[in-house]
Amino acid sequence: MQSAEILVTTPAILMACIGVAWGILGGALPGISPSITMALLLPFTYTLEPTSALILLASSYVGAEYGGSIPAILIRTPGTNAAAATVIDGYEMNRQGKAGLALGISLYSGVIGSLFGLLMLVVLSEPLSRVALSFRPPSYFALGILGLSVIVTLSGGSLVKAMIAGIFGLMVATVGTDPVTGGNRFTFGTADLLGGIEPVLIMVGLFAVSELLVQATQKDTTIRVESTARIEFPGWKLARRLLPAQMIGNVVGTFEGVMPGAGGTVASFIAYNEAKRWSRHKDEFGKGSPEGIAAPETANNTVSATAIIPLLAFGIPGSNSTAVLLGGFLIHGITVGPMIFVKSADVVHGLYGGLFVASIAQLIIGIMMMAPCIWLVNRPRAYLNAFIFALIFSGVFSIHQSLFDLSLVLGAGVVGFFMRMLKIPFLPTVLGLVLGYLVESNYRRALVISGGDHSIFLTDPISLGLLVVAALFIAGSLGRTLLETMKSRRTALN
Amino acid sequence: MRGFFVIAGALAVGIAAFAPPATAQDYPKDTVTLVTHSSVGGGSDVFLRELSKYLGPALGANVIVENVTGGSGANAMARLASAPPDGSIFYATTPTFIYTSLLSNPEATYKDLEPLVNVFTDPEVIYTAEGSPYKTLQDVIDHAKTAQGTWGAANPASLERQLLERLKKAAGVNAAVVTHEGGGDMMINVLNGTLDIGVGEVQEVKSQLEAKQIRILATFSAEKLDTLPDVPTVKSLGYDIVARKFRGLAGPKGLPADVIAAWEKAIPAVLANPEYKAVYTAADLRPDFIPHAEYGPFIESFVAETEAFLKETGVIQ
């Protein structure tokens, strides 16, 4: 198989192991989400060849999903949002003196989740992208619109705030060379902006820098861990009992991974609830149930692979983490979307192989990383954050040796800080930024082809289909929001 | 890898800066740096790296390649403009540096550089999908006379678009010139029949040509191509348009005469090297040596032509 060949000929195995180790560290640090963990690596992937770069990024996503459960179990603080469901039973097991077993269950459920997710990724992505060659400019426009319509489900409260964030991203995407006439837009005469603003720089600023700024305003309240827990894997009997919970995690993780906007956190909680509903030991949930760890940890690791499906097949990043992964593709000039299986098949196969290695290597690296993780979590915040700042700026500077890039990252960090203060979500901005150019250029290109006739978007079958799906998607979310508001009003009245 | 070249380049410049001023006797320098704005593996980068292998012996110096990316050539131009004109550093010129100079307001423009010599011309060809009904360029133009023709160019502000706009004018048709984000994007639209034709460099379309997915209808080069002897030139079909996608070298302003003489001797020698000839012929690069005295006016006329085109299409005022 091609994947196997790529594994042998590139430093893929090494990259997968480094990625997992890095991911576990990042995931274990509270506040450092998987997307930040990946964003920190991003600048360093410029000099790698594309396959290694993507394996490194995707593996760190896998590692981060496991890493998040370490502080969840040990100090009752989830390292990542997706590990929040693990806190419930994980910390309870820790109190009962079974921390090692809890970590072992989390780790090996994670391996099962990643492997199942990878299987789904390999099986589903390519068939979904088969329609590639039939994508014309109006179809790409409609695809971009469908991607942007995800914004309505990302609002997490206020649709207006999500729209503000999305439009901000779209505005930033207009900087640079006009896609049709070639004229300059908002470049203020500087050549630095001629090629547009690189989404990568904005992502690093928004995700990582803003988090550090927020943390700088807070007191260091980290609880010191005094743990000597050694990872302990469950025996056969327990493993058999965990199997149904893991299956539930797999299925939920696959659905939530493919659905844009859902992501690992939602998957973890749904998997936890479903595992509880179907369990023979319902009463144990909340009191240190091993299934209560297995289900969410399987689910969030499944998501780390299946979230890549919409990215590869359609070029739509459904979560912050896959948006950063998209950045990794963009850096190497690989256009993600239906054509990727034709134009960069070797990179995709290499990525599959790397993810396979990462899923397995997780077992060993997970055990090895325990001690460094606990050490790191115990460092004073101030020193840790100073180090992360140094990492960000040296990484960004190494891309083009450009001071302009550094100021962009800092600027994006400040914008991100205020967005956090105002509770404006980031993902709409990132979506607007990466999809804005696609939507605009293909809209205008389609009109150049049709001679200005808008009916081209309805006569192109793919375009029509995607636009209808986007409309249904928006109508559905609005309907659900409306229903919820009505319900909450009624309860308020009662 | 890239980091290494950057460091190597920086060291080379450092050494050059401390060396005694150039005199007639000591050119060539120990080390000559060739700067490109393209990243490792990009068009100009491959051109320079191939060239540097054969240039070293011919020039009697170490030739190293430095990638100064970013700003569509603006950074590389700035780097050159501030370097000493002693023949230790040159820039790989392509139409990009003219476009960037005209489109934006970079720190240094083509005016701050002195064209040295030209080395190659890249042939630009017109192609269509294998399954399309167009067998000749005339078929395409006839179609555009009766219906809405759709012609593709890789980038909005590019030589390719300029060529199509000129062809439109020469043929008196009103086809829609559809611009893209690079050649790959456009290829898909040619293959699925959205576009009647596309324009691109031969190297770019080679894999589709070999897979028999596309047909080449005509070339914008002055003469027929060695690798595609059956393809007519656009000029021979009655439309007087010849593409000048040049690949040459430029240095900081005020190059001394001995430096120019050394390069005017070295470049024709390298181009005649049979080993190198085999490499560049296979890559469809046409040797097009233009000596220093003619290269300046050549670039000037290219600038005038491009500026007029950009103004006419409303890209710049």
- Out of B100, B177, B315, closest to residue A194 by CB: B100
Cβ contacts (< 8 Å) between B100 and chain A: which residues?
Answer: 191, 194
Instruction: Note whether B8 and B118 are same-domain residues.
Output: yes
Is position B262 within any domain? yes
| Residue A261: per-residue pLDDT | 57
Report the pLDDT averaged over residues A423-432: 85
State how many domains chain A has. Answer: 1
Judge: B313–A181 Cβ closer than 8 Å, yes or no: yes
The H-assigned helical ranges of chain B are 2-18, 43-59, 74-81, 95-103, 137-146, 159-171, 183-191, 202-210, 257-272, 274-282, 292-312
Q: Quick: pLDDT tens for A262-321.
A: 567 778 888 888 898 888 888 888 888 999 999 999 999 999 899 898 888 877 776 778
Between B155, B184, B194, which is nearest A136 by CB? B194
Option in A133, A178, A451 nearest B192 (CB) = A133
Instruction: Report ipTM for this prediction.
Output: 0.70
List the single best residue of A175, A186, A445, A450 to mutate versus B (max B Cβ within 10 A): A445
Percent of chain B residues past pLDDT 90, beyond the cut: 41
| Residue that is last in its domain, among B237, B263, B289 | B237
pLDDT of residue B235: 93
Chain A nearest-CA distance from B218, in A, is 23
Asked if residue B200 belongs to a domain, the reply is yes
Segment A101-146, tens digit of pLDDT: 999 999 999 999 999 999 999 998 888 777 666 788 998 899 889 8
Among the listed residues B116, B12, B81, the one whose alpha carbon sits nearest the alpha carbon of residue A191: B81
Range of the domain at A260: 2-493
Beta carbons of A191 and B176 less than 8 Å apart? no
Nearest to A194 among B71, B184, B316 (CB): B71
CB contact under 8 Å between B313 and A402, yes or no, is no
Query: Which CATH number do you get for residue B212?
Result: 3.40.190.10
pLDDT for residue A148: 85
Q: What pLDDT digit, counting tens, does each position of B100-135 carry? A: 888 877 778 899 999 999 999 888 999 999 999 999
Do residues B167 and B271 both lie within one domain?
A: no
**Does residue B128 sit in the same domain as residue B116?**
no
Mean pLDDT of chain A: 84
Interface test with B, best of A449, A453, A463 (most B CBs within 10 A): A449
Structural domain ending residue among the three candidates B206, B221, B237: B237
Task: Tell me which chain B residue has its CA closest to the CA of residue A198.
Answer: B70
CB spacing of A182 vs B194 below 8 angstroms = no
Q: What band does A84 get if pLDDT is binned at 50, 70 and 90? A: confident
Task: Search chain A and give the residue with CA nearest B73.
Answer: A191
Q: How distant is the Cα of A472 from the closest Cα of chain B, in angstroms?
A: 28
Identify which has the larger pLDDT, B111 or A336: B111
Question: How many domains would you assign to chain B?
Answer: 2
Which structural domain, as residue segments, surrounds residue B34? 2-122+244-312
CA distance, residue A438 to nearest chain B CA (Å)? 10
Predicted local confidence at residue B39, as pLDDT? 67
> Same domain for B116 and B249?
yes
Read off the pLDDT of residues A438-485 as tens digits, 9 standing for 90 and up: 899 899 999 999 888 999 999 999 899 989 988 988 888 778 778 877
Q: Is B94 left (phi over 0), alpha (psi -120 to 50) or beta?
A: beta
Contact A136 B3 (CB under 8 A): no
